[in-house]
Structure 1
Amino acid sequence: MRSQRAVAGIDIGGDRKGNHLVILRDTQIVCNLRSQAPEQMVEKCLQFEVGAVGIDAPCLWRVGEAGRQAEKELARQRIFSFATPTRATAMASRSGFYEWMFNGELVYQAFAPHFPLFNNGGELGDRVSFETFPHAITSAFLGTAVASAKQKRTQRRAILQNAGIDATSLKSIDEVDAALCALTAHCLLDERFVAYGDELGGFIVVPAPAGTLKGSSEYRFRG
């Protein structure tokens, strides 16, 4: 990892599970917190001078019935995620399933004044937040044919270990997933990433697959 900036990852959960924040400086885990309010997570990221924050939740709701472009592009790569509904649809649901998406919305709102949302254009500036998710990250590192939800506990820890990150202090899969989001933030700052989506539905950022060359139509750079 070339970037010297601290980076952060946030795994979003429902009210019962809570959110998990992991901050990396180079390959060292310098902060690992659970069930913090969004404003407290912002304060921690400012305290550690974080440059980029990867968040495992939709950054924008679906507009209309067409679906988010980012999710459709990933599906064509055989990388599937929960389909983000319109906000009205989520509000009308009584299942409680979308609770975590509303929690994610609160996190993005808290971070926005200090960590503007990634828009895939121009310079990133001093700070940025962006959407990502662990299965897509795992697929980027291992390939879609290998990445498996059934093996996520071993595969995702192995990715962190291969990146030089000591994952022994991470006690749950939620903490591991937050660390993967932070690792992706390193890739963003190092300009080794792929951005799927558009401005209407928001962008999903994942690490560039192994072998992706500068100049590839799928490789999106700053500047």
Structure 2
Amino acid sequence: MKSRRAVAGIDIGGDRKGNHLVILRGTEIVCNVHKETPEHMLEKCVEFDVAAVGIDAPCQWRTGEAGRQAEKALARQRIFSFATPTRELAMASQSGFYRWMFNGERIYNALTPHFPLYGGHEKIVDKVCFETFPHAITCALLKNEVASAKQKRTQRRQILEEAGIQTTSLRSIDEIDAALCALTANFLLEGKVVAHGDESGGFIVVPASSR
């Protein structure tokens, strides 16, 4: 990784699991926290002068009946994710499933005044946050037919280690995924990403394929 600017990744979980934040500077993990408030995670990003934050949660709710273009673009590549509903449908759900999406919304609300949401621009000139997706990252850096949910802990740790990141401090798949989001933030700073989606539905950013 050429950039020495600090980058961050946040894995979003439900109320019980909580969110996980990993901050990288180069290949060094300089911060690893979880189950903290969005405001505390923002403080950590400011403290370490983070340039870009990758977040594993929808950056926009669906509007109308049509799905988000970003999710459709990934599905055309056989990369499937949970379909984001409208906010009203998520609020009306009695299952509690969408709690993690609301936790993601709170993270974006805390960060975007300081890290504006990525708008599809090729060159990053200031601080930014963006949506990404660990399975799509794995598919980009390996191959779709190789990436496996059953082997995600092994494969995603391998990707980090091949990037030169020491992973012994990453104790859970959530921390691994947060680090993978931070790695993608570094790719974004280097201009080596593909952004799927549009302005109305938001973009999902993944590394440019290494295939």
TM-score by length of 1: 0.93
Alignment of 1:160-171 (within 5 A): 160-171=160-171
State how far apart, in whole Å, the 1-side matches of 2:206 and 2:4 are: 19
Match of 1:88 in 2: 88
Q: Which amino acid aligns with 2:119?
A: N
Q: In 2, Cα distance between the equivalents of 1:195 and 1:123?
A: 12
Identify the residue that residue 73 of structure 2 maps to in structure 1.
73
Alignment match, 2:62: 62
- Alpha-carbon deviation of 1:123? 4.7
Identity of aligned residues (%): 72
For 1:6, the equivalent position in structure 2 comes to 6
Deviation at 1:121, TM superposition (A): 2.6
- 2:106 maps to 106
Mean CA deviation greater in 123-132 or 66-75 = 123-132
Q: Distance in 1 between matches of 2:122 and 2:83?
A: 28
CA shift digits 1:4-45 (9 cap, x unpaired): 210000000011000000000000000000111001001100
Counterpart residue number, 1:150: 150
Counterparts of 1:72 and 1:135, CA distance in 2: 15
1:187 paired residue number: 187
Aligned to 2:196: 196
Task: Kindly state the Cα deviation for residue 2 of structure 1 after the two structures are TM-superposed.
Answer: 1.4
Q: Match of 1:129?
A: 129
Where does residue 172 of structure 2 map in the other structure?
172
- Identify unmatched segments of 5+ residues in structure 1: 212-223
Verify the 8 A CA contact 2:123 2:189 in the aligned structure 1. Answer: no
CA deviation map 1:33-80 (0-9, x unaligned)? 011100100110000000000000000000011100000000001111
Q: CA deviation at 1:122?
A: 6.4
Q: How many angstroms apart in 2 are the aligned matches of 1:194 and 1:149?
A: 22
Amino acid at match of 2:67: G
Partner of 1:32: 32
Provide the alpha-carbon RMSD of the alignment. Answer: 0.8
What is the aligned partner in structure 1 of residue 53 from structure 2? 53
**What are the ranges of 5 or more consecutive residues in structure 2 without an aligned counterpart?**
none
Q: Distance in 1 between matches of 2:169 and 2:122?
A: 37
Runs of 4+ aligned residues of structure 1 deviating over 6 Å after TM superposition are none
CA distance in 2, matches of 1:195, 1:57: 15
Report the equivalent of 1:208.
208
Q: Deviations over 1:119-170 (max 9, x none)?
A: 0136533200000010000000101111000000100000000000001110
